[in-house]
Structure 1
Amino acid sequence: MNEGLLFLAHRIPFPPNKGDKIRSFHLLRHLSARYDIHLGAFVDDPADWQYQDALQPYCASLRLLPLHPRRARLASLGGLLTGEALTLPYYRSRELKRWAAGLAASGTVTRGLAFSSAMAQFMPENLARRVLDMVDVDSDKWTQYASTQRWPLSWVYAREGRRLAAWEARAACDFDATLLVSRDEAALLQRRVPLARHKIGAFENGVDADYFSPLRDYPDPYPPGVQGVVFTGAMDYWPNVDAVTWFAERIFPAIRDAVPG
């Protein structure tokens, strides 16, 4: 019997068809070879409930909880009264907290991985080792959003940036290790939390080099002679919209000047 590991994710890690799910699923799959995984996660898309069985082979137990975005947004406003980051009450769940605490108290799990800073609030403190995969420094994202919006959203986003940064700093100090998706993100958190600098590091996303090998014979979706440019990403996410807009306005004209076709 393997050692038990508590894996907490803010979104069900399946199917691996978007950024956070790709990372969380492959972490889950890799760790399941060494640990008995007890997965707790939210389901914010009703269509994702059908994938519960797909996760069974990787998990000793599952606790999936519904998260209704509209209700969660209303619940998050409670943070304005408590003084905390709105992200935390957005995901708050007494049921998940009790479930995680019960696993730790019984000795079923001795180690834990929290995927995203919001899930740190559910990780029991009495585990032998606790790792936080923060993925991104989300507070920096909210701070950047604030500069693009008018009041009152600019105020709300700036406040969220400050309050979430305080939570991230606390979590980085409390956890045994904190991982970020890139060296730049890790360096940013290290500068913000110098006391935890020694236990903050980058764990970059990988690529299936066999599947995406240019040596493979893939069908070309473009007509003969056409040179295509493809951007893959969810276009309901502001940074992706910003990236494509920047590319189209600033970069693509120079490319077309150099390569008219």
Structure 2
Amino acid sequence: MGDILFLAHRVPFPPDRGDKIRSHHLLRTLARLSNVHVGTLAESAADRAGEADLSRIAASHFVAPRVKPLALAGAEAVLARKPVSLAAFHCAALERWVRMTIETREIETIVVFSGQMGQYVPERFAGRVVIDLCDVDSAKFAAYADAGQRVWLNRREARLLAREEERLAGRADATILISEAEANLLRARLPARLAERVRVIGNGIDAARFDPAASAPHQALAARKGPQFVFTGQMDYWPNEKAAIWAARELLPALRRRLPSAELHIVGRSPTRSVEALGARAGTSVWGEVPDMRPFIAAADMVLAPLDIARGVQNKVLEAMAMARPILLSPAAAAGIDARDGEEWLVCEREPGAMAAAAACLLADPARAAAMGAAARRFVLDRHGWDALLEPLGTILAADPAQARHAA
């Protein structure tokens, strides 16, 4: 196999958020198959610090700073009639590096992680192109618009991204999605010849790291009297922000009517002002960024995932399952993970009374709650190991691109 050019919209180190966890493991798998040259962008000090790790795994790399203000990206997108998502991640220096790398290295395959990076694949590149879209992002923006969030902007983004997703599916020899639900959504939008190229590679979990035996519960939570409910995530991501606000304002009061000493802990970096303000509410603590999420999960009597907008596979759910915690989640958060309701988790419609009743019923039976957590960990060990999930990648990269395009 010739060299691989890997393009990711964020530095895959450290693997501390959903997209970076996936790109990190994807890169490690690619590096076992061939020499990998990595082009990516950095938007934080942690990203820039990750370049040292990147240099140890990549045959060569280029990290471009992502400093373009969103307002400028929006203006560029309007003028070019492109999605803001593409303008925000466009960098002329990275574009030049990609061209130079293709000209000076024996690049046989370009692997693109996230749709924003498809713009860097040269039209004249004759080798294999594999694009991991992860999710159908256009559907996410459509859902934002349907929820009343910046309706005009999000409908525009949804429309233009859908066009870009179809373009990328036509350019790629294989297009990868994170779940069958996401894959079927994209397939339904494509002509049959392109739908045949859509593949599924799910999200995994590092079960050795997220092992209940390897992390002690957070002392402050463990010392508290009542049941502790924990919600984790990147708190400036709108679906997480919206879910956190709902959990504090709607769900926790319903829980406290049944479990008077119940407390809610919102844990995750970059909380918005609206999320930070929740810390003033009785029974709610907003922790912000923490050095290690595992002690909070380990201390939880129950982990919550009450999202009403979600795409693909929720890493927060896999982490809680790996930590053998009982988890209560909405149908949206459950999508993409084929666990059994009542066995490995509890799925409940996002209605405060119903969720509170389900939580109280389970916590009243500690043996059942412990058995559910144990079953959840067995599930992720059996079904969501990264090595097994990424094994098909070698077959995808071994396919003859000319034959694949001709067959389609």
Name the residue aligned to 2:16.
17
CA contact (8 A) 2:98 2:120 kept: yes
What SS does the corresponding residue of 2:131 show, helix, strand or coil? strand
Name the residue aligned to 1:28.
27
1:196-207 maps to which residues of 2 (within 5 A)? 196-207=194-205
Query: For the structure 1 residues 187 and 243, does the alpha-carbon distance in structure 2 shift closer, same or farther, using more than 3 Å as the test?
Result: farther
Query: For the structure 1 residues 260 and 58, does the alpha-carbon distance in structure 2 shift closer, same or farther, using more than 3 Å as the test?
Result: closer
Partners of 1:144 and 1:12 lie apart in 2 by: 28
2:120 aligned to 114, 118, 122, which one? 122
CA contact (8 A) 1:88 1:118 kept: yes
> Is 2:158 the counterpart of 1:161?
yes
Partners of 1:220 and 1:47 lie apart in 2 by: 26
What SS does the corresponding residue of 2:64 show, helix, strand or coil? strand
The Cα RMSD (Å) is: 2.3
Unaligned ranges ≥5, structure 2:
248-305, 307-349, 365-408
Partners of 2:93 and 2:47 lie apart in 1 by: 20
> Percent sequence identity over matched residues?
36
Name the residue aligned to 1:229.
229
What SS does the corresponding residue of 1:144 show, helix, strand or coil? helix
CA contact (8 A) 2:3 2:36 kept: yes
In the TM superposition, what is the alpha-carbon distance from 1:62 to its structure 2 partner?
1.1
Name the residue aligned to 2:81.
83
Q: What letter is aligned with 1:94?
A: A
Partners of 1:200 and 1:260 lie apart in 2 by: 42
> Is 2:167 the counterpart of 1:170?
yes
What SS does the corresponding residue of 2:188 show, helix, strand or coil? helix
What SS does the corresponding residue of 2:63 show, helix, strand or coil? strand
Cα displacement string for residues 44-93 of structure 1 (whole angstroms, at most 9, x for unaligned residues): 113421221111111011110011152x4413322212222222221122
How many residue pairs get aligned? The number is 256
CA contact (8 A) 1:109 1:127 kept: no
In the TM superposition, what is the alpha-carbon distance from 1:211 to its structure 2 partner?
3.3
Partners of 2:43 and 2:84 lie apart in 1 by: 17
Name the residue aligned to 2:138.
139
Cα displacement string for residues 141-160 of structure 1 (whole angstroms, at most 9, x for unaligned residues): 1111112236xx21111011
CA contact (8 A) 1:86 1:160 kept: yes
Q: What letter is aligned with 1:237?
A: Y
In the TM superposition, what is the alpha-carbon distance from 1:213 to its structure 2 partner?
4.2
Partners of 2:121 and 2:224 lie apart in 1 by: 54
CA contact (8 A) 2:10 2:47 kept: no
What SS does the corresponding residue of 2:107 show, helix, strand or coil? coil
Partners of 2:56 and 2:363 lie apart in 1 by: 51
Q: What letter is aligned with 2:234?
A: A
In the TM superposition, what is the alpha-carbon distance from 1:243 to its structure 2 partner?
4.0
In the TM superposition, what is the alpha-carbon distance from 1:111 to its structure 2 partner?
0.7
TM-score in terms of structure 1 length: 0.89
2:356 aligned to 244, 250, 253, which one? 253
What SS does the corresponding residue of 1:219 show, helix, strand or coil? coil
Name the residue aligned to 1:7.
6
Name the residue aligned to 2:43.
44
In the TM superposition, what is the alpha-carbon distance from 1:227 to its structure 2 partner?
4.2
In the TM superposition, what is the alpha-carbon distance from 1:240 to its structure 2 partner?
2.0
Choose 1 or 2 for highest CA Rg.
2
Unaligned ranges ≥5, structure 1:
none
CA contact (8 A) 1:116 1:132 kept: yes
Query: For the structure 1 residues 186 and 242, does the alpha-carbon distance in structure 2 shift closer, same or farther, using more than 3 Å as the test?
Result: farther
CA contact (8 A) 1:7 1:112 kept: yes
